[in-house]
Structure 1
C-alpha cells in the first residue's frame, strides 16, 4: 500500500506538457520544443495533425518517426479516446507549436474534430494553460475574432515573433529564444532566453 501511494505521489509530481503540432509553417518550433522539454526533464505528450506531417517533411526533412522519438508519448490525431482527451488526465498545460488558423478556429468554436483540438479544448475547460503559437499573416477580421475568442476562454495567443534584441546568430537561437519565453509561461527554465536587464546607458537612481 505504501509503495502504491509513493508511486501515485511521484506520478502527480512529474511535470507533463502536451505538445501539438499543426500544419502551419514553422514545424521547427514543435521539434525544438520537444527537445527543450526533454532537456528540462518534463514529460511530453505529442499529437500531430496530418497536415503537420506534410509540413514537417517539406521544412525540415525529418521523418514522422524522428519527431515521435523526441516525445515521451505519441498519440495519433484520430485517437479521440487518448489520455489527453480527458480532463482527468493530469497535465500542466499544452502548447500548439505552430498553430494553424484551422486549429485556432476549432478551439475558438469548441467544434473539436480531432485529438489536437480536443486536447486544447480540455485545457480550457479544466482551466489549464494553453498556448497557441498562431502562425499566419496577414490576418483578416475572422482570424482576429478567433484569437479574441480563445483569449476570452483563457488561452494565450503567442505568435512566434522573433526578438531581435537578443541578437540571434542563427535560426536555431531565434527559435530557442521564443520557445524559452513560451516555457516561461509554465515556469520551466531552459537557459535559452537572453533576458533583458535594461540598456547599457541605464544608471542607478540615488536614494
Structure 2
C-alpha cells in the first residue's frame, strides 16, 4: 500500500505569452494525478485571451480540475489555513512577479502566492520574458530571498527535442522536478 502523501497543487496562469507551458504542465500533471490529492487552477483574464490566441483551443474543462476565479478571495489558497502545499505560476508575467515581490495581493493569484511564501511552502514562478531589466531582476531576487523558486522558461536542447511540444516539455519536466513529483523523463548522463 502506497503511504506517500498526496499533493495539493495550485497552477496559476498569468497574462504572459507562453500558454504552451501552462497547457503542457496541466497535461503532465494529469498523467501524474496519482500523486495529487487536488489540482486547482486559476487563470487571469489576460491569460484566458492569450491561451485562445496562442493555442487556438478552449480552456481545459476536465472534471478533475478545480477552477477558481481570479477574484475569489474565499478560495482555499487565499488563506494560510488552506491545504495547498505547492503553487506554480506558469507563465508568469513581470507585472504579476512585481506584485508578488512587493506584497500587492490584488487578485487571487497574487494573494495565493503571498500565502504560499508566508507559510514557507513551495512557490515556483516561471517567467516568460526576455530580456530582463533591473526591476525584473530585483523583483525575482526578492521572491527568491522570500523562499520562492524562479524557473525561467528556458528550454534545453541536449535531449534533442523533435518538435515544439517536446521543447516546451524540457521546461515542464524541470518544473515537475522542482515541485517534488516523481516522473520518468530524460536525465543528464543517462
TM-score (norm 1): 0.84
Q: How does 1:4-83 map to 2 (within 5 A)?
A: 13-41=5-33, 42=36, 43-64=38-59, 67-69=60-62, 72-83=65-76
**Structure number with higher relative contact order (C-alpha < 8 Å, ≥ 6 residues apart):** 2
Gaps of 5+ in 2: none
Contact 2:39 2:65 in 1 (8 A): yes
What displacement does 1:181 show? 1.2
How many residues matched?
Answer: 185
1:197, distance to aligned residue in structure 2 (A): 0.9
- Aligned Cα RMSD in Å? 1.7
Partner residue, 1:195: 187
Report the Cα offset of residue 18 of structure 1: 0.5
TM superposition shift of 1:131: 0.6
- CA deviations over 1:136-170 (Å, ceiling 9, x no partner): 11111111110111111110111110111111001
In structure 2, relative to structure 1, the CA distance for the partners of 1:136 and 1:71 (3 Å cut) is farther
What's 1:86 paired with? 79
Which residue is 1:5 aligned to? Answer: none
- SS at the partner of 1:164? coil
5+ long unaligned stretches in structure 1: 1-9, 199-207
Aligned partner of 1:145 in structure 2 is 138
Structure 1 partner of 2:97? 104
Q: Distance in 1 between matches of 2:164 and 2:48?
A: 21
Q: Aligned pair in 2 of structure 1 residues 46, 107: CA closer, same or farther (>3 Å)? A: same
Among 161, 164, 184, the alignment partner of 2:177 is 184
Structure number, greater radius of gyration: 1
Taking structure 1 as reference, are residues 71 and 106 closer, same or farther at Cα in structure 2, changes over 3 Å only? farther
SS at match of 1:136: coil
Are 2:120 and 1:127 equivalent residues in the alignment?
Answer: yes
Q: Secondary structure at the match of 1:13?
A: coil
Aligned residue for 1:105, secondary structure, equals helix
Q: Tell me by how many angstroms 1:31 deviates.
A: 1.4
How big is the shift at 1:16? 1.3
TM-score relative to the length of structure 2: 0.92
